[in-house]
Amino acid sequence: MTETPPTLRLWFMDWFGWMLDHNSVRDALDRTPFQEGRLPGLSIAVPLPFQLPCRPVLEKRVSMPRPFPEMEMQEFPPNRVVFFIPRTGTYLRSSPLGPEPVDFLAPKPGEWEIFFPMTVEMLRGLSLILKPNTVKLQDDAGNALPTPTLQQGFVLQFGDRNLPLFLNTTTLIQIGQIMPGAIAKIALTWDADAQPVNFTVSRETPTQSEIV
């Protein structure tokens, strides 16, 4: 009996902070706003150990018959990817313009062709950060960060400070794993050329059912 090789399941954010998704009505790739606590209807399985380039397997939550073209997932440092279509020599892109929200026709990778891969723990961590009054982030001087907003380019905006998500993948996982009422130490990397800054993260004890 052949054993199934281990895989890692990922979800993908586009340049605009939306998620790569599946439209089950049209049976086509789509893009939907990031929603706290919601998993998009499209995930991608990649072999372990996760190494790039690789051939991803796109999986629809609602099973539909239309096949996806064969793709190669390539690295776009740091911690981002593009999807190359070998048959056409083009790239997958997610765009707010044009007749299709997601297509396979980009001649080269630019901003709209870049995607940020996230595990379910990273998605949970991002959901907790964006939900008001859920987690508190304080530096060593006791200064608390405001609730951020999600911006273009895979960035969280805390007031006048921008935090690149792709430089804080481990931290997103740590926040996603913190239990209600718990406190943990994390490090935030604000810039690729700067040293990480230590913060304390605390998660509020919920008064009603959590969404994540």
pTM, rounded to two decimals: 0.92
Q: How many angstroms separate the Cα of 18 from the Cα of each of 11, 154, 201?
A: 11, 10, 26
How does pLDDT run across 125-157, given as a tens digit for each residue?
999 999 999 999 999 999 999 999 999 999 999
With 60 as the cut, is the pLDDT of residue 186 above it?
yes
**Is the predicted pLDDT of residue 191 greater than 90, yes or no?**
yes
Asked whether the predicted pLDDT for residue 193 surpasses 60, the reply is yes
The structure tokens listed for 8 are 């890692």
CA dihedral 48, 51, 53, 54 (to 10 degrees): 0
Residue-wise DSSP of 146-157 = PPPEEETTTEEE
Instruction: Pick the range with the lowest mean pLDDT from 25-34, 63-72, 79-88.
Output: 63-72
The per-residue pLDDT of the chain, averaged, comes to 93
Mean pLDDT throughout 65-93? 96
Name 20's Cβ contacts closer than 8 Å, sequence gap at least 6: 11, 12, 13, 14, 29, 30, 31, 40, 42, 94, 102, 115
Q: What is the mean pLDDT of residues 111-135?
A: 96
Written as six digits, the tokens of 156 are 């969280």
Banded pLDDT at 2 (limits 50, 70, 90):
low
In angstroms, rounded to a whole number, what is the distance separating the alpha carbons of residues 112 and 91?
10
